[in-house]
A = this chain, B = another copy of it.
């Protein structure tokens, strides 16, 4: 509880990273920022003073002479540097890079705590998950990754509270992708649609792409992998030993006939050009749902006692919380023994730089509280 010297290194200064550094500059009693790694360069504060890099002015710090500028460092180099500080060290990984994620055990083995929105480390092989948490426990390192599911929404912390206090989580169900939320809230709305305003699936996807609501390649949203990674993380916290995000059924929204288009911008263009040919199938599904008073949603679900994890389309009653979803909101329902028939629900924006960085920052604050 007495204030100990704590140092942090930040990897990634993109959408999340820049918001994080801005939030860090306003944090009272902030830890000393001693490393900033971007794809091409690494800035470090030299020993033995380890003078703090000002988070608000990190860009000019790169050109000032006070700090050491190096080429891109490997995760090993970053871990070695951070393990040399005269106090506790925290790695804040604001990337979605699998290379650094695969190296987390190198950090935790050295007692370096980790705070990150990077899903890769927690949704790849089960062995990596086990390596991270076992080396962390053995070396007094903490690992917090709230923003890997639902960005700043209190999803993982809520699930961990339920599990740690001995509640039995029976089912987790939700819309875990802001993009797929937006697409289906548009395509399959609970308010009765007149023939004139009925939207074709390909048009909805196209418009979302224009608005920047999808990844540059919409197939990265439509293949369901992002949702599958989030489900993998939740299932593991709930106690299921999910081997990888490929080890359960994922219903891809990429038509089978288009699955073999090449990756990259050319393939994306071809995909968007051909997508209207498949509007009929999505229309059929939507009309079938509507005929029974329902709407379509792309959901992930985990049946804990049955150990079944699923990602795909489902229909929901028009007066359900799922149907009432707005904008690009996420919704996550936890069904547990203590809560009974009605679930504990968390809902809200689950994507975007500011709220993702907020999840990272609130994790950092908790790690600081525990290390100090």
A interface residue numbers (CB < 8 A to B): 1-2, 23, 26-27, 140, 152-154, 157-158, 161-162, 164-167, 190-191, 319, 321, 324, 326-327, 329, 338-349, 354-355, 358, 361-362, 365, 369-371
Q: Are B348 and A164 in contact (CB under 8 A)?
A: no
8 A-B contacts, Cβ less than 8 Å apart?
A1-B140, A164-B365, A327-B341, A340-B349, A342-B348, A344-B349, A345-B346, A346-B346
- Copies of this chain, whole number: 2
How far, in Å, is A297 (CB) from chain B's closest CB?
16
User: Within the assembled complex, what's the spacing in Å between the Cα atoms of A333 and B157?
Assistant: 18
Q: Are B321 and A321 in contact (CB under 8 A)?
A: yes
Which chain B residues lie closer than 8 Å to A329 at the CB level? 342
Which chain B residues lie closer than 8 Å to A167 at the CB level? 358
Q: Are A319 and B327 in contact (CB under 8 A)?
A: no
User: Within the assembled complex, what's the spacing in Å between the Cα atoms of A157 and B346?
Assistant: 13
User: Within the assembled complex, what's the spacing in Å between the Cα atoms of A152 and B154?
Assistant: 13
Which chain B residues lie closer than 8 Å to A26 at the CB level? 166
Q: Are B348 and A165 in contact (CB under 8 A)?
A: no
Q: Are B345 and A344 in contact (CB under 8 A)?
A: no
Selected contact of A347 from candidates B153, B191, B344, B365, CB within 8 Å? B344
Q: Are A162 and B358 in contact (CB under 8 A)?
A: yes
Which chain B residues lie closer than 8 Å to A369 at the CB level? 370
Q: Are A165 and B365 in contact (CB under 8 A)?
A: yes
Selected contact of A165 from candidates B153, B321, B361, CB within 8 Å? B361
Decide: A23 near B165, CB < 8 A? Known: A1-B370, A341-B327, A342-B329. Answer: yes
Which chain B residues lie closer than 8 Å to A370 at the CB level? 1, 369-370
Q: Are A164 and B362 in contact (CB under 8 A)?
A: yes
Selected contact of A157 from candidates B154, B162, B166, B355, CB within 8 Å? B154
User: Within the assembled complex, what's the spacing in Å between the Cα atoms of A2 and B370?
Assistant: 11
Decide: A154 near B165, CB < 8 A? Known: A354-B338, A358-B338. Answer: no
Q: Are B345 and A347 in contact (CB under 8 A)?
A: yes
Contacts beyond the supplied A164-B365, A165-B365: 4 A-B pairs with Cβ under 8 Å: A2-B140, A26-B166, A344-B349, A345-B347
Q: 7 closest pairs, A vs B, by CB?
A: A344-B348, A161-B362, A345-B347, A165-B361, A1-B140, A338-B354, A154-B154
Closest Cβ neighbor of A341 among chain B residues: B327
User: Within the assembled complex, what's the spacing in Å between the Cα atoms of A365 and B2?
Assistant: 20
Q: Are A326 and B348 in contact (CB under 8 A)?
A: no
Selected contact of A349 from candidates B1, B164, B339, CB within 8 Å? B339
How far, in Å, is A121 (CB) from chain B's closest CB?
22
Which chain B residues lie closer than 8 Å to A348 at the CB level? 339, 342-345
User: Within the assembled complex, what's the spacing in Å between the Cα atoms of A370 and B23?
Assistant: 23
